[in-house]
């Protein structure tokens, strides 16, 4: 084998770890493959003779690529986080197995973290990357990298709060709404909604009014979401819809007399990132 073949063989030995780092950071199989491919391109343009620790070097490159991708997501306008089609060459079964290995709730919670928090948490807590190396990726001090990982850890560990009695009753109504949307049960959705229910969009104007209209929109939204989970959103019981591991919309419910009287819909990526979101357990 020539030198290029040897380098390619060494790279392939690290590919599974690199893809795992990228996938758990990005939550998308196609984006993870893009990040790993970028690492190979950078390696092929480098002098491998001066790289002392190839595995560490490649992990750092993939982490930096992932950080750039996370930051670019936040600069995209609203509506850019709809589910992506499976890219050519990506095995849907393999992508599903990857998603199952992480868990949809964890993926959604990770996407509520700031990019630096998410990367620090994933690299340290999931892959045992030293804080000195994480600091180099983030352009921060090791102490700052440690603090970022700690903040991410607290957010993840606090993802399933214990509800008081009133919120527990509201949770039951939200669960009924979620089950009806998943099952395409229009009548059951009407049962959970007040006849004069309204939907407010991104903290602004009312965009929808009436149980029939809201139920119809809920059925449409359920087709876009790969995962829908009960959640506490800015202190209110509701539902988070996600695709490719990313929250694409949050629905916080106002419930009165056992009926949903208002839905605060958040589908602006910037507002989703700022929301106080906690996934509720079963």
pLDDT along the chain (282 residues), means of 10: 81 92 83 93 87 91 92 52 34 44 62 84 89 93 92 70 70 91 92 93 85 91 78 87 79 91 88 79 58
Query: Which residue is associated with the tokens 């229009």?
Result: 186
Residues 116 and 237 in one domain: no
Q: Do 180 and 114 reside in the same domain of the chain?
A: no
Same domain for 275 and 250 = yes
Domain span holding position 127: 3-157
pTM: 0.56
Q: Final residue of a domain: which of 157, 186, 205?
A: 157
**Same-domain check for residues 214 and 272:** yes
Q: Could you tell me if 230 and 175 are in contact, meaning their C-beta atoms sit under 8 angstroms apart? A: yes
Extract the tokens encoding 73: 């997501």
Q: Closest by alpha carbon to 14, among 46, 69, 57, 48?
A: 57
Assess whether 116 and 238 both reside in one domain.
no
In angstroms, rounded to a whole number, what is the distance separating the alpha carbons of residues 170 and 260?
9
Residues 186 and 256 in one domain: yes
Q: What is the CATH number of the domain that holds 204?
A: 3.10.450.50
Residues in contact with 184: Cβ distance below 8 Å, sequence separation at least 6, in sequence order: 219, 222
Number of domains in the chain: 2
Q: Are 247 and 272 spatial neighbours (Cβ–Cβ below 8 Å)?
A: yes
């Amino acid at each position: 084998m020539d030198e290029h073949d040897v380098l390619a063989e060494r790279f392939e030995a690290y590919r599974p770890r690199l893809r795992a780092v990228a996938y758990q950071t990005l939550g998308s199989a196609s984006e993870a493959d893009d990040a790993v491919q970028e690492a190979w391109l950078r390696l092929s343009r480098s002098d491998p003779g001066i790289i002392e620790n190839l595995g560490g070097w490649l992990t750092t490159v993939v982490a930096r690529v992932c950080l750039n991708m996370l930051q670019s997501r936040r600069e995209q306008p609203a509506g850019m986080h709809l589910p992506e089609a499976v890219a050519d060459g990506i095995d849907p079964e393999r992508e599903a197995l990857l998603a199952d290995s992480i868990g949809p709730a964890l993926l959604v919670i990770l996407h509520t973290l700031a990019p630096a928090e998410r990367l620090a948490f994933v690299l340290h807590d999931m892959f045992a990357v030293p804080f000195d190396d994480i600091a180099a990726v983030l352009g921060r001090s090791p102490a700052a990298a440690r603090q970022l990982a700690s903040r991410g850890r607290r957010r993840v560990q606090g993802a399933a709060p214990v509800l008081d009695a009133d919120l527990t009753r509201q949770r039951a109504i939200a669960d009924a709404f979620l089950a009806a949307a998943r099952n395409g049960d229009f009548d059951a959705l009407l049962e959970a909604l007040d006849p004069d229910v309204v939907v407010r969009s991104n903290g602004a104007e009312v965009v929808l009014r009436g149980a029939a209209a809201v139920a119809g929109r809920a059925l449409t939204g359920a087709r876009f979401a790969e995962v829908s989970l009960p959640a506490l959103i800015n202190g209110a019981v509701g539902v988070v819809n996600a695709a490719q591991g990313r929250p694409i919309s949050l629905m916080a419910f106002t419930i009165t007399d056992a009926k949903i009287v208002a839905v605060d819909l958040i589908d602006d990526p910037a507002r989703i990132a700022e929301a106080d979101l906690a996934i509720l357990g079963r």
